[in-house]
């Protein structure tokens, strides 16, 4: 009965004070919704690859190439031969498997699909506990003609038929093979860095004729997972990797006779549970997370919740004087202080649970948009412990928010209160509220500055000249397949005839879709040991004109000239003709030329074939082009050469005018007529470039959304406090008006009262935000200057002050305009 009376009293109090109750409930609802959304994201990020049975002993090797004069090249993939050396040298390694993703053409009847297939070693099936739906998974990869499909692909290719024993023909372009389906497994989950679509066995002999996919020590084409006997074995392996590298890696063609592999190569390994948030380097199979981002958004969740709790505490303590008589009468009637504390905590929890119900509705409304921004499939599982955890959070928030007000309200002395017919508010409560308001706005201003810095960096990346024109460019992919390459000339001619098309070229790489290909270069008279490592890209005719890359000196490749390079086989046979080469500005400087024009006509030598062959080709520099940002602004532009690929490439680049959809339709029709059995795959260059900053863009949107919520919740509390303050000072305002004060004077008085906490909040928020965001900007080689942070801090401070003024003035003006006679009759 006592609890019922407490609940009834709490509900009456909520209903009687609609404005304050609405502010409290709405602030808490938004705070709980924001925390729930962030928690779903953080929980998802922390769950990656924790579900494997052997997760504690499963690890992946990583490699860093540290070449003088170049940024270190970091990769999460490994050299093909590393697996054999790892098993040989480390008895702690019980199993190991490479995972190489290849996208062959799969023929199913009259249809052709381009599908990712993961080539693995046999240990893979015992290292990872895949869920078998049909077939014998134990013996599913006994030979190179066996293929495992996920349920998704089995249905895609065979419908509802049993696929076991059926055959699929795969064309890798290097070779073709018929595979027999030996098992079907459950679809890969989303929270893994090892997404699987199909599995086939690695046979190294398949890849020795035209490519050295698994044979090269200095080429990283496959990820390498290995299992140890104990989790602690990983520390020993990492500690001894330098000696391991020196024993197993062949001599590098740089550094002289005394150079060791460990001088230029750094091997390491990481547990599979840490990969998503802590791995660094190229070669991931799916998008990676970021531990800093998880920490930041966890902190934002806590800060938003603190702001909501502060609102509750501020408004509850501010209204203490209005409930003084009620508390005193309860004490006179026999209520103990513990009874009153329990009552007021109950009211706080009641308000929080009402806010909880609203917050769940807000979460469900926001989830579709939230998932779209994050590219995830987050949801609350109401049949699990999710609701229990959310309810527990609401209970904790209710208790924390009501704890201090409960102790303040229950501490009133009946004799003093009833004698004076009011309660004088203590200076401690006033100071506490001021401190809490400062905290609210410090957090809000800090989030606002962070959001502005992230957005400004994204705008900088968007507007910075990358060295090429990314607009109006259609990219057609997978033209490197033999069946397409044979018709490349015809495709280029037919597409060029399309009225919208202004230029067509081809290349191995395009901005946003690059590989780390390198070669050794030396000048005449330079020893081979002193040769310089340079990047290289393969391009077709008209590449620089199509991309509108500036030519600084000389010319680019021309069909009427003998620019085609010698093949490696010709060099082996003794051919020695000079070939033409185009280099970028960074390469010209790296080679020691004082200017672009000085490089024209100079000879350079480049290595060819396997390192052991000691073959070189002589090149004449015919052109120097401007540096180009093929990669994101996180990476320094590397010195590189552009080799001419006269008849082959991976991507066709089409520059056009007019409607992009019309062009895409026309090019697809040309493709379909010429190559009917290969699916048409395309993208637009602008989108590919934008995708390089997808993570930061999502981060900026989340920052903006949650910063806005934090500011809104803080303003809700400020509005309530301003309303309460103006109401309490009604008589004072009336007297001031009688004494000649104008409406402006009254409003100015109240504005100044609430401006001081905002000024102090700025002094706290600015240095913290400056330190945090200048550190974040260090991730980018090309970035906005730190002075922008100071400018954005000033803008954030002014913005917060204006918001506070508008919020306070909304209440103050109506009170200041009131008839002073009514004000003097107040109370």
Mean pLDDT across the chain: 82
d(CA 127, CA 737) in angstroms, rounded, equals 82
Angstrom CA distances, 357 to 34, 87, 305, 312, 350, stand at 14, 57, 16, 17, 11
Strands 117-120, 198-201: pairing kind: parallel
What is the C-alpha separation between 689 and 469, in angstroms, rounded? 11
DSSP calls for 33-55: HHHHHHHHHHHHHHTTT--STTG
Token pair of 539, please? 């391009």
Q: How confident is the model at residue 275, as a pLDDT?
A: 95
- Euclidean distance between CA atoms 294 and 276, whole angstroms: 11
CA-angle at 574, arms to 569 and 580, nearest 5°: 75
Per DSSP, helices labelled H in 283-426 are 291-318, 324-332, 337-374, 386-409, 414-420
Q: How many Å apart are CA 94 and CA 85, to the nearest integer?
A: 13
Could you give the 3-state DSSP secondary structure of residue 158? helix
Task: With beta carbons less than 8 A apart as the criterion, state whether 327 and 430 touch.
Answer: no
For 814-820, which contacts have Cβ atoms below 8 Å and span 24 or more sequence positions?
815/726, 815/727, 815/730, 815/733, 815/746, 816/733, 816/737, 816/743, 816/746, 816/747, 816/750, 817/743, 818/730, 818/733, 818/734, 820/733, 820/734, 820/735, 820/737, 820/738
Q: What's the half-sphere exposure (Cβ side, CA atoms, 13 Å) at 271?
A: 16
Taken as a whole, the chain contains a residue count of 827
In which residue ranges of the chain is pLDDT below 50?
1, 421-424
Q: Report d(CA 30, CA 44) in Å as an integer.
A: 21
Task: Please state, in angstroms and rounded to a whole number, the distance separating the CA atoms of residues 654 and 495.
Answer: 8
How many helices and strands in the chain, by DSSP H and E?
A: 28, 25
Q: Which residue in 775, 634, 638, 636 sits closest to 693, CA to CA?
A: 634
Q: Is 178 left (phi over 0), alpha (psi -120 to 50) or beta?
A: beta
What's the pLDDT score for residue 588? 93
φ, ψ (nearest 5 deg) of residue 697 = -65, -45
CA distance 108 to 679: 13
Q: Are 276 and 41 in contact (CB under 8 A)?
A: no
Boundaries of every domain in the chain: 94-225, 501-656
Distance CA 409, CA 396 (A): 20
pLDDT in tens, 434-483: 777 788 788 888 888 888 888 888 788 777 788 899 999 999 998 888 88
Calpha distance 113→725 (Å, rounded): 70
* Structure letter (DSSP) for residue 165: T
Query: Taking Cα atoms as reference points, which of 649, 660, 673, 644 lies closest to residue 489?
Result: 649
Environment class of residue 47 by beta-carbon count within 10 Å: exposed (0-12), middle (13-18) or buried (19+)? middle
Q: Which residues pair with 518 in a beta bridge?
A: 535
- pTM for this predicted structure: 0.81
In 3D, which of 720, 704, 681 has the Cα closest to residue 807?
Answer: 720
CA 377 and chain centroid, separation: 15
| Rounded-to-10 torsion of CA 436, 438, 439, 440 | 90
Dist. CA 506–CA 542, nearest whole Å:
8
pLDDT digits (tens, 9 = 90+) for 118-177: 999 999 999 999 999 998 888 889 888 999 999 999 999 998 889 999 999 888 877 888
CA distance 668 to 661: 10
């Amino acid at each position: 009965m006592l609890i019922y009376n407490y609940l009834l009293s709490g509900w009456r109090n909520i209903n009687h004070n609609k404005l304050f109750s609405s502010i409290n409930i709405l602030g808490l609802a938004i705070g709980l919704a924001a925390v729930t959304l962030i928690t779903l994201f953080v929980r998802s990020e922390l769950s990656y690859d924790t579900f494997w049975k052997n997760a504690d002993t499963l690890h992946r090797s990583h490699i860093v190439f540290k070449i003088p004069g170049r940024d270190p090249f970091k990769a999460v993939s490994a050299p093909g031969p590393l697996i054999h050396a790892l098993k040989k040298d480390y008895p702690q390694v019980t199993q190991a498997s490479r995972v190489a993703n290849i996208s062959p053409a799969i023929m199913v009847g009259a249809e052709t699909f381009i599908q990712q297939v993961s080539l693995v070693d046999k240990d893979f099936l015992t290292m990872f506990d895949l869920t078998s739906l049909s077939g014998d998974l134990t013996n599913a990869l006994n030979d190179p003609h066996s293929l495992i499909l996920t349920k998704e692909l089995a249905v895609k290719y065979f419908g509802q038929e049993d696929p076991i024993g059926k055959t699929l023909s795969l064309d890798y372009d290097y070779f073709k093979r018929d595979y027999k389906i030996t098992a079907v497994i459950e679809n890969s989950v989303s929270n893994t860095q090892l997404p699987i679509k199909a599995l086939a066995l690695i046979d190294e002999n398949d890849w020795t004729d035209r490519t050295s996919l698994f044979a090269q020590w200095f080429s990283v084409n496959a990820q390498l997972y290995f299992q140890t006997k104990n989790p602690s074995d990983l520390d020993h392996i990492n500690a001894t990797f330098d000696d391991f590298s020196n024993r197993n890696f062949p001599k590098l063609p740089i550094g002289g006779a005394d150079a060791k592999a460990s001088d230029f190569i750094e091997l390491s390994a990481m547990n599979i549970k840490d990969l998503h948030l802590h791995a660094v380097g190229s070669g991931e199979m799916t998008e990676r997370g970021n531990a800093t981002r998880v920490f930041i958004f966890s902190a934002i969740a806590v800060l938003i919740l603190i702001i909501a709790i502060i609102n509750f505490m501020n408004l509850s303590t501010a209204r203490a004087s209005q409930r003084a008589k009620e508390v005193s009468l309860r004490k006179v009637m026999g209520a103990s202080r513990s009874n009153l504390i329990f009552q007021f905590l109950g009211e706080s929890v009641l308000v929080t649970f009402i806010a909880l119900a609203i917050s769940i509705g807000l979460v469900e409304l926001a989830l579709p948009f939230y998932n779209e921004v994050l590219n995830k499939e987050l949801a609350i599982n109401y049949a699990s412990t999710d609701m229990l955890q959310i309810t527990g959070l609401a209970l904790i928030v209710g208790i924390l928010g009501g704890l201090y007000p409960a102790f303040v309200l229950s501490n009133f002395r009946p004799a003093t209160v009833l004698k004076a017919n009011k309660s004088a508010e203590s200076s401690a409560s006033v100071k506490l509220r001021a401190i809490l308001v400062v905290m609210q706005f410090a957090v809000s201003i800090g989030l606002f500055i962070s959001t502005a810095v992230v957005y400004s960096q994204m705008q900088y990346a968007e507007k910075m000249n990358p060295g090429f024109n990314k607009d109006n460019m259609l990219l057609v992919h997978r033209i490197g397949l033999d069946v397409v390459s044979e018709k490349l000339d015809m495709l280029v001619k037919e597409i060029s005839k399309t009225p919208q098309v202004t230029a067509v070229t081809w290349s191995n790489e395009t901005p946003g879709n690059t590989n780390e290909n390198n070669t050794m270069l030396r000048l005449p008279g330079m020893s081979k040991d002193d040769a310089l490592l340079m990047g290289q890209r393969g391009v077709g005719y008209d590449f620089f004109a199509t991309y509108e890359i500036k030519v600084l000196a000389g010319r680019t490749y021309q069909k009427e000239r003998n620019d085609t390079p010698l093949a490696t086989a010709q060099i082996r046979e003794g051919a020695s003709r000079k070939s033409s080469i185009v280099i970028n500005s960074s390469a010209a400087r790296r080679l020691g030329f004082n200017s672009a024009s000085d490089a024209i006509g100079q000879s350079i030598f480049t290595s060819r074939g396997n390192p052991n062959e000691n073959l070189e080709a002589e090149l004449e520099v015919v052109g120097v082009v401007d540096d180009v940002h093929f990669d994101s602004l996180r990476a320094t532009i590397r010195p590189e050469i552009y080799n001419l690929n006269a008849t082959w490439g991976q991507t066709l680049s089409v520059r056009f005018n007019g409607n992009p959809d019309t062009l895409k339709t026309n090019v697809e029709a040309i493709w379909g007529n010429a190559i009917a059995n290969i699916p048409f795959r395309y993208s637009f260059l602008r989108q590919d470039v934008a995708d390089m900053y997808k993570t930061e863009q999502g981060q900026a949107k989340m920052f903006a959304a949650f910063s806005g919520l934090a500011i809104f919740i803080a303003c809700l509390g400020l509005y309530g406090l301003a309303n309460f303050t103006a109401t309490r000072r009604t008589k004072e305002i009336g007297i001031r008006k009688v004494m000649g004060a104008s409406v402006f004077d009254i409003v100015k008085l109240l504005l100044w009262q609430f401006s001081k906490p905002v000024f102090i909040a700025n002094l706290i928020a600015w240095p913290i935000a400056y330190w945090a965001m200048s550190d974040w900007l260090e991730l980018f080689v090309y970035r906005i200057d730190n002075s922008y942070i100071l400018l954005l801090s000033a803008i954030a401070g002014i913005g917060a002050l204006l918001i506070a003024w508008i919020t306070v003035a909304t209440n103050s003006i109506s009170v200041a305009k009131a008839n002073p006679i009514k004000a003097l009759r107040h109370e």
